[in-house]
Amino acid sequence: MGQFDEVEAPPEYDFEGFSSRLMPGQIAPALFQALPDVFFWIKDEDGRFMYMNKAFCHEVAMGDVSELVGLKDEDVFPSVLAMNYQRGDEEVLESGVAFWNKSELIPTRTGGVEWRSTSKIPLKDVDGNWVGTAGISRRMGHVEGVPMPTRHHKLAVIVAAIYQHLEKGVSIVALAKAATVSVSTLERLFKEHMNTTPRRFIMQVKMSAACDRLLNSGMRVKEIAVSLGYDEHANFTRAFTKEMGMSPRSYQKHYKKG
């Protein structure tokens, strides 16, 4: 072949054409079953669950998929949480716009709650009508799972430091120093990758830990307050009530009874 001979152009790859040839339902259900710390679900336009992966069924809904299909959030979750999830679905369906990495409280199998990063997308039918939503939820910063991809190492270091020093109190300056970044960079990292602020995330982690200890530790409310770095019991009660919509004792009575 000479230097200036015509070279055949590489073929154009058409993902939409390829995907249209696939049998529906093969990809997402199979792959999301392999992610034990990621919750995945699909709902119809009325908010009824059409599909959930095993992690969702086991860790959140505590039932078999055959028992859960057709149920709504209010059939599975405490009413306050269910209303928040439903509002998110309605916003996505009405706007046709997805949301990404929103901080949400999710119940745990042990009876507490934890903060998770939730993303939702609207779903269309073949005629172009919005007919449902799909979502995923990832644990935010717990030791069982790094909250972001490994390339975001600094953020992983910051989140680990928050969990490790809850009882001593965590300052924004100390967190930035631990990750060798400026305070402004720290703020930007949280805004970009976790859709929240460092201060807000610290509060979320504290209240998540408080919920777990209220139900599972046998500690008194005052002891839990001290364990989370509150010198004054009243300050802890105010912070908890603002975040959770009820006092620590009311939360304890309500969910232990449930």
Work out the mean pLDDT of the chain and round it to a whole number.
80
Cα-based distances in Å from 114 to 2, 6, 104, 117, 192 = 66, 61, 8, 10, 21
> How confident is residue 10, by pLDDT bands cut at 50, 70 and 90?
low
pLDDT digits (tens, 9 = 90+) for 119-140: 999 999 888 899 999 999 987 6
pLDDT at 239 > cutoff 70: yes
Burial of 236 (0-12, 13-18, 19+ CB in 10 A): buried
pLDDT at 225 > cutoff 70: yes
> What local confidence, expressed as pLDDT, does residue 80 receive?
67
**Least confident residue range of 27-31, 142-146, 197-201:** 142-146
> What local confidence, expressed as pLDDT, does residue 6 receive?
53
Q: What is the rounded average pLDDT of the residues 69-92? A: 87
**Least confident residue range of 92-96, 141-145, 203-207, 228-232:** 141-145
pLDDT at 14 > cutoff 70: yes
Domains of the chain: 32-139 (3.30.450.20), 153-257 (1.10.10.60)
Q: Which residue has the higher pLDDT, 52 or 189?
A: 52
Give the largest Cα separation in the chain, rounded.
85
> What local confidence, expressed as pLDDT, does residue 22 receive?
72
> How confident is residue 147, by pLDDT bands cut at 50, 70 and 90?
very low
DSSP class of 32:
H
> How confident is residue 180, by pLDDT bands cut at 50, 70 and 90?
confident
Identity of the residue numbered 234: A
pLDDT at 215 > cutoff 60: yes
> How confident is residue 159, by pLDDT bands cut at 50, 70 and 90?
confident
- Strand-pairing partners, residue 134, are 42, 121
pLDDT at 241 > cutoff 70: yes
> How confident is residue 112, by pLDDT bands cut at 50, 70 and 90?
low
Identity of the residue numbered 130: W
Q: Which residue has the higher pLDDT, 238 or 101?
A: 238
- Residue 149 phi, psi dihedral angles, 5° rounding: -55, 155
> What local confidence, expressed as pLDDT, does residue 45 receive?
94
pLDDT at 174 > cutoff 80: yes
CA 235/CA 227 separation, integer angstroms? 13
Q: Which ranges of 140-247 does DSSP label H, i.e. alpha helix?
A: 153-164, 172-178, 183-194, 198-216, 221-227, 233-244
pLDDT at 88 > cutoff 70: yes
Identity of the residue numbered 236: F
pLDDT at 54 > cutoff 50: yes
